[in-house]
Amino acid sequence: MKIRIKFSKYGPLRFIGHLDIMRFFQKVIRRAGIDVTYSAGFSPHQVMTFAAPLGVGLCSLGEYMDIEVNSQQGAEDMKRRLQNACPYGIDILSVKALQKTAGNAMASVAAASYAAVFRDRSRSFDDYIGQCAAFLAREEILIRKETKRGTAEVNIRPGIYSLGIEDGALVFTVDASSAGNIRPSVVTEQFLRFAGASEQENAFQIVRLEIYTRSGEEAGLIPLDEVGEAF
Amino acid sequence: MQLPDFENRLALSDDILMSVEKPARYIGGEINAVIKDKRRVAVRFAMCFPDVYEIGMSHLGIQILYDMFNRYEDVWCERVYSPWVDLDQIMRERKIPLFALESQEPVRNFDFLGITLQYEMCYTNILQVLDLSGIPLLAADRGEDVPIVIGGGPCAYDPEPIAPFFDLFYIGEGETAYRQLLDLYKENRAAGGGRQTFLLRAAREVPGIYVPSLYAVAYHADGTIASFVPTQEGVPAVIRKEVVMDLDHVPYPAKPLVPYIKVTQDRVVLEIQRGCIRGCRFCQAGQIYRPVREKSLESLKEYAIAMLEQTGQEEISLNSLSSSDYSRLEELVDFLMETCREKKVNISLPSLRIDAFSLDVMGKVQDVKKSSLTFAPEAGSQRLRNVINKGLTEEDILHGAALAFEGGWSRVKLYFMLGLPTETEEDIRGIAALCNKIAALYYETVPKEKRNGPVQIVASTSFFIPKPFTPFQWAGMCTKEQFLEKAALTKQSVREQLNQKRIKYNWHEADVSVLEGVLARGDRRVADVILAAYQKGCLYDAWGEHFQYELWLEAFAQCGLDPAFYTTRERRKDEILPWDFLDCGVKKEFLWREWERAQREETTPNCRMECQGCGAARFGGGVCFERKGGPV
Ligand code: SF4
């Protein structure tokens, strides 16, 4: 049975990188006593996929991984066991069952939304509220991107699906597919530069809010766990 | 909008953490890390491994002591490691004090800073830890406001080169006397006593405690030690090591720490016994951990299961100096194989002798095609193996290799030492000849159609460094030039072999071995050199890319000490060795007898074959009392 797990990552755990989080969850699943499916061979490993790597230093309210289990005692039980095996900084938000035919977490990723806030909580993005529409009105937002053959100019504007200010935070939804992934720090920097602000590199904290896949006739964006079902 | 907690309550800012390699080294909070309420503990103990996090986190001894201290309600033990060079620089520039991982609070505010001494090449890192903590480097300069600095571990068996940096050393196994030491500390503090009273009372009252400032050393004109005596009444002239006789009834960490990042030993480690019966003459561990004491099979089974469940680790490994000598190994391995198959956990079995049993086990737990066999003949000829008392014959090796080749293995690793006492050119050529024989054996044993590619032999040599409390503690060590000649000869003779294409040869750096030789058998005067080298910028000497031999040589010159005095010189029988005031159980007379037998190329049977009356029986247990009648 395929299971999709949604979790958050915050506090000091924001300094743990993606590969380490994968190794971390393998141990969580063992400690939790989940009857997870292993690959065959001399060093069996858990069948596990993560949606989209989260950069070191970022927090998230919407991380996803898929696992496969041989047996289970219901979503609530699994969620509780996993939560008990996690330290402060990881919360298990939902546990859903996936159809056999559902694409895995990594392949399904289409977009992600983020919030950027000032680390200094007395400051807010409200000052720049007026700039959002103009920022989005541009046809081209060119950035330099490192490629195998040196650097290239890339237009990230088509990959920015929405951007605005909410509760003092800069909130945006961007392409997160493997082909067109846009880094949230790039969007934040571009926006601030456009707004004429000069900020220190680590002045703001970025939080990933959600990861989306495309679904339905309209191919609209829906959160990854809406693909799964309760059990 | 509800955002998650990203407030930084760590010792380092986000800015710094984002700019250093592997920030996870510095944030603490690992699974099974212990957090206590600092207002409710009486003693705060910072336990330090003076190397980078990934190395320090892999060390079993720290896990054992961390667990033991934190079982005490009145003590909170936290961990400290050497900041890597990137953070080291930032901390110096911005004057950020070194902190312990759990509370993220400065080490300087602790009651104790305990430093484990696992290898000599970490000595400059000790000074780094003290320096970054804001603790005066010399014990003599410390006031009441800084932690008591205590050292322990194998290098404490010659603590002299680092003696001036420590307030005290704990000699031997940590499980026995720490409680008494901590109680004395509390009592002394309650009575308004200061640092010096505590140290004096610890030296007088607590077994295994060495307080260097309470001893005076005098030297002869030739630089050897004339006398080494306590300066205060009641301070013992000889300090005997502490040792645990019943390993089943001392705490062992059933919930070891689980790091977030990959560390060197990323697995559950089950200690099955302490000590070694073999008595290889170059090996310090084989002497200082005598006598051999085993843990019971029952408690090992319980711990194995508990540790796997509490950590979620995917691998378990056995820890001992020679696992094959554990008397109930077969039963233990059968149990582990069964458990691990169920739990989908890998087993790693280091230090197993290659024989039918171990090959059968290894064939079941690892992919034969990908793994390699390891032999440690240590010397290339039988003559020299007799000198070092390595009871592994060419026949054993060839027999083991043949069995392994039939079982599908085709990779062999061999470990040797160069520069052993009495070594000749012939012994060195023997290394290449042995490698060649093993390669040839593969082609003889395995028919063409069954071969899993060509045979691959990897021979590695390290340079022999005489260590305290071994029969070779009196031996002269080679010079750098001699070492390099020996390595060149080994290389050349490998090239002359018929199967030379199948043999890969690696050798160690020579400079670092020479320095290790000085630090291993140094006296108190060497401390000046370590301090000078540190001040010149030496740090992380165990890391090839950071080792600066030139600076060390400058430091020796500046202090007026000749490294050769400590390395190449053979010691006389009547010389007072810098570590003679310590008693590790094994008597000096026994070691001298072994040194003489080595020169006569005579081997000595192991503890289970025939007790040699080495002296360790006085601890009253272990292998010495296994047979009826006890030791001789
Ligand atoms: S006293 Fe005998 S049995 Fe005991 S450690 Fe020494 S040699 Fe071995």
B317 within 8 A of B301, measured Cβ to Cβ = no
Residue of chain A whose Cα is closest to the Cα of B362 = A42
Whether B154 is covered by a domain: the verdict is yes
Residue A217 and residue A119 share a domain: yes
Task: Tell whether the model's pLDDT for residue A102 goes beyond 90.
Answer: no
Residue B366: the pLDDT is 80
Q: Does B5 reach chain A within 8 Å, measured CB to CB?
A: yes
Residue B371 and residue B232 share a domain: no
A211 within 8 A of A227, measured Cβ to Cβ = no
Q: In whole angstroms, give the CA distance from residue A76 to residue A82.
A: 10
User: Taking residues A26-36, what's their average pLDDT?
Assistant: 96
Token pair recorded at residue B29: 């909070």
CB contact under 8 A, B258 and A28: no
Q: How far is CA B241 from CA B46, B154, B155, B169, B290, in A?
A: 23, 11, 13, 11, 11
Nearest Cα neighbor of B279 from B500, B472, B523, B44 is B472
Residue A14: the pLDDT is 97
Whether B83 is covered by a domain: the verdict is yes
DSSP B100: -
For the four alpha carbons of B96, B100, B104 and B109, in that order, the dihedral sign comes to negative
Whether B23 is covered by a domain: the verdict is yes
Position B406, amino acid: E
Q: Does B308 reach chain A within 8 Å, measured CB to CB?
A: yes
Domain with B196 in it: what CATH number?
Answer: 3.40.50.280
CB neighbours of B190 closer than 8 A, spacing ≥ 6?
A: none
Measured between beta carbons, the chain A residues lying within 8 angstroms of B103 are none
DSSP B110: S
Residue B292 CA to ligand 1 centre (angstroms) = 8
Q: In whole angstroms, give the CA distance from residue A147 to residue A165.
A: 32
Residue B31: the pLDDT is 96
DSSP readout, B191-233?
TT--HHHHHHHHHHHSTTEE-GGGEEEEE-TTSSEEEEEESST
Tell how many helices (H) and how many strands (E) occur in chain A. 5, 11
To test the contact with chain B by mutation, choose from A7, A19, A42, A205 the residue with the greatest count of B C-beta atoms within 10 A, namely A42
CA distance B359 to chain A (A): 16
Domain tally, chain B: 2
| Other Cβ atoms closer than 10 A to B289 | 25
Q: Does A130 reach chain B within 8 Å, measured CB to CB?
A: no
Which residue, by CA, sits nearest to atom 4 of ligand 1?
Answer: B624
Whether B110 is covered by a domain: the verdict is yes
- Residue B22 Ramachandran class (φ > 0 left, ψ -120 to 50 alpha, else beta): left
Residue A122: the pLDDT is 86
Whether A230 is covered by a domain: the verdict is no
Whether A82 is covered by a domain: the verdict is yes
Residue B616 CA to ligand 1 centre (angstroms) = 6
Residue A163 and residue A142 share a domain: yes
Residue A113 and residue A93 share a domain: no
Of A107, A123, A157, which residue sits at a domain end? Answer: A107
CB contact under 8 A, B27 and A169: no
What's the average pLDDT block by block, 10 residues per block, for chain B (632 residues)? 92 95 97 97 98 97 96 98 98 98 98 98 98 98 98 98 98 97 98 97 98 98 97 98 95 95 94 96 97 96 96 95 93 94 88 85 81 91 96 91 91 96 97 96 90 91 98 97 97 94 93 97 98 98 96 97 97 97 97 98 95 95 77 52
Q: In whole angstroms, give the CA distance from residue B365 to residue B259.
A: 25
* B48 membership: H or E segment, kind and range: strand B43-49
Q: How far is CA A194 from CA A116, A160, B600, in A?
A: 16, 15, 85
Residue A146 and residue A101 share a domain: no
For residue A163, list its beta bridge partners: A172
B159 within 8 A of B169, measured Cβ to Cβ = yes
Residue B631: the pLDDT is 53
What residue has token string 């165990």? Answer: B542
Strands B168-170 and B209-210: antiparallel
Whether A101 is covered by a domain: the verdict is yes
Longest CA span, chain A: 60
Token pair recorded at residue A70: 């041989």
Q: What are φ and ψ of residue B533, in 5° steps?
A: -65, -40
Whether A231 is covered by a domain: the verdict is no
Of A40, A75, A107, which residue sits at a domain end? Answer: A107
Of A78, A107, A136, which residue sits at a domain end? Answer: A107
Name the residue facing A119 among B14, B27, B311 (closest C-beta). B14
Of B194, B213, B240, which residue sits at a domain end? Answer: B240
Residue A103: the pLDDT is 85
Whether B546 is covered by a domain: the verdict is no
ipTM computed for the complex: 0.94
Residue B42: the pLDDT is 97
Residue A101: the pLDDT is 85
CB neighbours of B302 closer than 8 A, spacing ≥ 6?
A: none
Whether B303 is covered by a domain: the verdict is no
User: Taking residues A121-128, what's their average pLDDT?
Assistant: 89
Q: How far is CA B110 from CA B87, B94, B121, B432, B631, in A?
A: 22, 22, 26, 54, 45
Domain tally, chain A: 2
Residue A52 and residue A93 share a domain: yes
pTM as predicted: 0.95
Q: In whole angstroms, give the CA distance from residue B531 to residue B525.
A: 11
For the four alpha carbons of A27, A30, A34 and A38, in that order, the dihedral sign comes to positive
Residue A98: the pLDDT is 94
For chain A positions 161-200, those within 8 Å of chain B (CB to CB) are 166-167, 169, 171
Domain with A75 in it: what CATH number?
Answer: 3.30.70.580
Whether B296 is covered by a domain: the verdict is no
Q: Using pLDDT thresholds of 50, 70 and 90, give the confidence band for residue A145.
A: confident
Residue B376 and residue B236 share a domain: no
Strands A59-68 and A204-215: parallel
Q: In whole angstroms, give the CA distance from residue B407 to residue B401.
A: 10
Residue A19 and residue A69 share a domain: yes
Q: In whole angstroms, give the CA distance from residue B473 to residue B476.
A: 9
DSSP A104: P
Packing angle, helices A18-31 and B297-311, rounded to 10: 130
Residue A91 and residue A6 share a domain: yes
Which structural domain, as residue segments, surrounds residue A33?
2-107
Residue A156 and residue A208 share a domain: yes
DSSP readout, B437-498?
HHHHHHHHHS-GGG--SS-EEEEEEEE----TTSGGGG-----HHHHHHHHHHHHHHHHTST
Whether A229 is covered by a domain: the verdict is no
Q: Using pLDDT thresholds of 50, 70 and 90, give the confidence band for residue A16.
A: very high
Residue B36 and residue B185 share a domain: yes
Measured between beta carbons, the chain A residues lying within 8 angstroms of B349 are none
Which residue, by CA, sits nearest to atom 8 of ligand 1?
Answer: B607
Whether B585 is covered by a domain: the verdict is yes
Residue A71 and residue A148 share a domain: no
Q: In whole angstroms, give the CA distance from residue B151 to residue B169.
A: 5
Q: What are φ and ψ of residue A227, in 5° steps?
A: -75, -30
Q: Does A10 reach chain B within 8 Å, measured CB to CB?
A: yes
Task: Tell whether the model's pLDDT for residue A147 goes beyond 90.
Answer: no
Nearest Cα neighbor of B14 from B22, B23, B5 is B23
Residue A15: the pLDDT is 97
Whether A201 is covered by a domain: the verdict is yes
> Tens digit of pLDDT for each residue in A38-87?
988 777 889 899 999 999 999 999 999 999 999 999 999 999 999 999 99
Residue A113 and residue A53 share a domain: no
**Strand ranges (DSSP E) for B198-322?**
209-210, 215-219, 225-230, 239-240, 268-271, 273-274, 293-294, 315-319
Which structural domain, as residue segments, surrounds residue B208?
14-240
Q: What are φ and ψ of residue B162, in 5° steps?
A: -120, 10
Q: In whole angstroms, give the CA distance from residue B102 to residue B111.
A: 15
* A76 membership: H or E segment, kind and range: helix A75-84
Residue B376 and residue B234 share a domain: no
Residue A119 and residue A66 share a domain: no
Residue B107: the pLDDT is 98
Residue B290: the pLDDT is 96
Burial per residue of B499-514, b for 16 or more beta-carbon CB atoms within 10 angstroms, e otherwise: bbebbebebebbbbbb
Which atom in ligand 1 lies closest to the alpha carbon of residue B275?
5
Residue A147 and residue A89 share a domain: no
